[in-house]
Structure 1
Amino acid sequence: MNILGILRDGTGKMAVGASVAAFVAATCLAALPARADDVTWTMATHAGGHWLEHGAQGFADKVALYTEGRVKINVAQPGALGSPLTTTQTVKDGIAEAATTWGGHVQGIDKTGAIVGGWPGGLRPEEWFFWVYEDGGLDLIKQWRMEKFGVVSIPCDTGETEIFLHSHKPVRTIEDFKGLRVRTSGAWAEIAAKLGASTVVIPGDEAFSALERGVVDALEWAGPGQNFKSAFHTIAKYIITPGVHYASGLTECIINKDAWDKLSEHDKVMVEVAGRLNLYESYARYGELDIAGWAKLKEAAASGNNEFIKLDDSFIAAAQKASNDWADEQAGNNEWFKKVLESQRATLDKLETWDEFRLPIGGVRE
């Protein structure tokens, strides 16, 4: 069955919320035979905060709903089943049947992970939907994960454009960036080093302590909503934007192949539907969190505790060039990287005319 067709209403538009659930139930439950066997999976997680609450738990709740309770997922706290950076291996080894993961965590094995997870020259939140569901990205991710890591991948959560830095030091130019000790990860860890920073890769849940103790001068972690909850602004004066290091990202819910193969075809479809709906819901939910978080960060700055800084255009241009140069270099010796990069760039090329016929988001309507 074509899952792309499952989630479209009669107008051809993407259905959301309750209408998705109703349409899925009417279509899939009638079309595929159910299986009575119950399974209970444990899910390892790669990060706390909204990735845990809305990403992992949101996915688990939808799986239970759409499989009518036949597939239950118990969500573990980050680190409970091993390092948050190695959840792919945790699933492959069968320590957990499922996990959330971010592609950048496996870039030490295959750099393709960096652009599957999100990278400086990559896709913004809305653009992931075009690439994953309309332009072949879903099949590429699934094939890559199975070939390289032997796990089933279901995109299930999309992130936001992040704050560039919470920093003890002001950063506006490349000169300011040189020598800065930065907590980061993924592609930017390599690209930032090329621009002169000293990069430190540690799990996000350890970032606050590292910034507070001066192990790092600055860090990137998430968007305004999660960063406000993490309270980075209480220990670092400067809030630096825009997030040129990370346009947006993708979280995958990965599943052990043996566990996956035990499901009926019906329940496999339902698990994939759960991932798709969770991806869409996470986009809207994170947007709301970020709008509220940004307002609170502005309140903190108004009281004199923080200062907002915008990167110079020269920094943004240098970061973009370094990112594309890095990607071209990786594509030269990694066929999977090249395949994914070319596919993402084709989506971006397709969307070049977007602002010619669509109104911008937000603003007062006159």
Structure 2
Amino acid sequence: MKHISSLAAIVLALGAGSGATHAQEIKLKVADWLPLSHYTYSEGGKVFMDKATELSKGRIQFQHFPAEQLGKAKDAVALAQSGVAEIVNIAPAYITEKFPLSGVVELPGIYEGSCKGSYALAALAKPGGALDESEYKPNGVRVLFAGALGAYRVLTAKKPINGVADFAGLKLRTAGGPMDQTAALLGANSIRLPGPDVLASLSRGTLDGVFWPLQSVKPWGLEGALKYVTPNLSVGSFSMVYAISEKAWQKLPADLQRVLTEAGDLATKAHCEYVDRSEVKTIEALKAGGMVQIALPDNDVQKINQGYAKIHDDWAQALDKRGKPGTKVLEAFRQRVADGR
């Protein structure tokens, strides 16, 4: 009987140990508005998730829901706050009422490429940064991975842009925020649309063109709908972050919090370096596919760049008047871009 009792105790202990190991595995739902084909997912979001699973030795598992399966891009914060998903892909330009200050990343002419913008965004949006204190923390989310895309260009479906006067009256898709001001500076009409709606609008003719990063043309299937590109004019940029709800974060043990933080930093670096090194290849691929590049005259580019300074000041002052630290965030972002990582 003693032997039987001992054996039973061992079996129970092993069972308890197995249950404890199972309990340590944490599944996190990720609500993503991007399609699987988009490089910000493959070179950023997926890198983040794979690295977190690796660093946690499988204790962290993800359920990824791409292409707005759990909700629209504009509803990302609500999905996190309600617990529908623990991690969400937030595009501040689609939720400007909650993240107006994050629009600093979209201002034209402050930086080229992705890494300078991504590192500056990460520094300001992560815990303790100016954007975190003003926007992310009050909305109950914590930024893990930050991605600023490369410079947006102007691409049109039918009308070539040979000079600044050709922008007049064009209906151009923007991501909202500061890009609205950039479109106004050019004399075009800004049409706000999320990425998934753009192709249909181009096909119907309700859009004449887009403000768009070149690397995102093929992932969104737009190469057949756009014919002309202005390669020597930056009209701003766009950013997105993968953020975890603060409620979900507080439930995690400290070691897994560190894992998610490290994985996010690695993904930020991997994503921006991919974007920066692929710019030239992307341009050549689009050209080979039939897209026509028409550079603006240097005088026009210089005139537009001079107008960007006013856009920066107007953007900051408008936020200051609303009681938000627009000037402070603009200066901090500029300084981070100048400093590099």
TM-score, normalising length: structure 1: 0.76
Matched ranges for 1:184-203 at <5 A: 184-186=174-176, 187-203=178-194
State the alpha-carbon separation in 1 of the partners of residues 305 and 97 from structure 2: 22
- SS of the aligned residue for 1:228 comes to coil
The answer to whether the 8 Å contact 1:153/1:254 transfers is: yes
Matched ranges for 1:292-307 at <5 A: 292-301=281-290, 306-307=291-292
What displacement does 1:350 show?
5.2
State the alpha-carbon separation in 2 of the partners of residues 190 and 104 from structure 1: 13
Counterpart position of 2:34? 47
- Residue identity opposite 1:274 in structure 2: A
What displacement does 1:194 show?
4.2
> Is residue 301 of structure 2 the alignment partner of residue 316 of structure 1?
yes
- Residue identity opposite 1:151 in structure 2: V
State the alpha-carbon separation in 2 of the partners of residues 282 and 70 from structure 1: 24
> Is residue 248 of structure 2 the alignment partner of residue 271 of structure 1?
no
Counterpart position of 1:37? 24
Matched ranges for 1:116-127 at <5 A: 117-124=105-112, 125-127=114-116
Matched ranges for 1:14-163 at <5 A: 37-48=24-35, 49-115=38-104, 117-124=105-112, 125-128=114-117, 131=120, 138=126, 139-163=129-153
State the alpha-carbon separation in 2 of the partners of residues 231 and 129 from structure 1: 25
Superposition CA RMSD, Å: 2.7
| Deviations 1:112-154 (CA, angstroms, capped at 9, x unpaired) | 1211x43213333232365357x76642233233344221112
Identity level (%):
20
Pick from 307, 311, 314 the counterpart of residue 326 of structure 1. 311
Seen in structure 2, the aligned counterparts of structure 1 residues 238 and 128 have a Cα distance that, compared at 3 Å, is closer
Q: Which blocks of at least 5 consecutive residues in structure 1 are unaligned?
A: 1-33, 352-366
The answer to whether the 8 Å contact 1:162/1:221 transfers is: yes
> Is residue 172 of structure 2 the alignment partner of residue 182 of structure 1?
yes
State the alpha-carbon separation in 1 of the partners of residues 202 and 258 from structure 2: 43
State the alpha-carbon separation in 2 of the partners of residues 228 and 136 from structure 1: 31
Shifted more, 253-262 versus 122-131: the winner is 122-131
State the alpha-carbon separation in 1 of the partners of residues 308 and 244 from structure 2: 31
What displacement does 1:249 show?
4.3
The answer to whether the 8 Å contact 1:44/1:77 transfers is: yes
The answer to whether the 8 Å contact 1:208/1:232 transfers is: yes
State the alpha-carbon separation in 2 of the partners of residues 123 and 148 from structure 1: 28
- Residue identity opposite 2:135 in structure 1: R
- SS of the aligned residue for 2:325 comes to helix
Pick from 193, 204, 217 the counterpart of residue 208 of structure 2. 217
State the alpha-carbon separation in 1 of the partners of residues 228 and 188 from structure 2: 17
Seen in structure 2, the aligned counterparts of structure 1 residues 293 and 71 have a Cα distance that, compared at 3 Å, is same
Counterpart position of 1:167? 157
Counterpart position of 2:7? none
Pick from 273, 291, 307 the counterpart of residue 280 of structure 2. 291
State the alpha-carbon separation in 2 of the partners of residues 293 and 228 from structure 1: 9
Counterpart position of 1:362? none
What displacement does 1:294 show?
2.0
Seen in structure 2, the aligned counterparts of structure 1 residues 129 and 254 have a Cα distance that, compared at 3 Å, is closer
What displacement does 1:229 show?
4.2
- SS of the aligned residue for 2:289 comes to helix
Seen in structure 2, the aligned counterparts of structure 1 residues 339 and 155 have a Cα distance that, compared at 3 Å, is farther
Seen in structure 2, the aligned counterparts of structure 1 residues 137 and 96 have a Cα distance that, compared at 3 Å, is closer
- SS of the aligned residue for 2:275 comes to helix
Counterpart position of 1:363? none
Seen in structure 2, the aligned counterparts of structure 1 residues 101 and 314 have a Cα distance that, compared at 3 Å, is farther
What displacement does 1:245 show?
1.0
Q: Which blocks of at least 5 consecutive residues in structure 2 are unaligned?
A: 1-20
- SS of the aligned residue for 1:170 comes to coil
Q: How many residues align?
A: 310
> Is residue 247 of structure 2 the alignment partner of residue 262 of structure 1?
no
| Deviations 1:94-113 (CA, angstroms, capped at 9, x unpaired) | 22111112222222344212
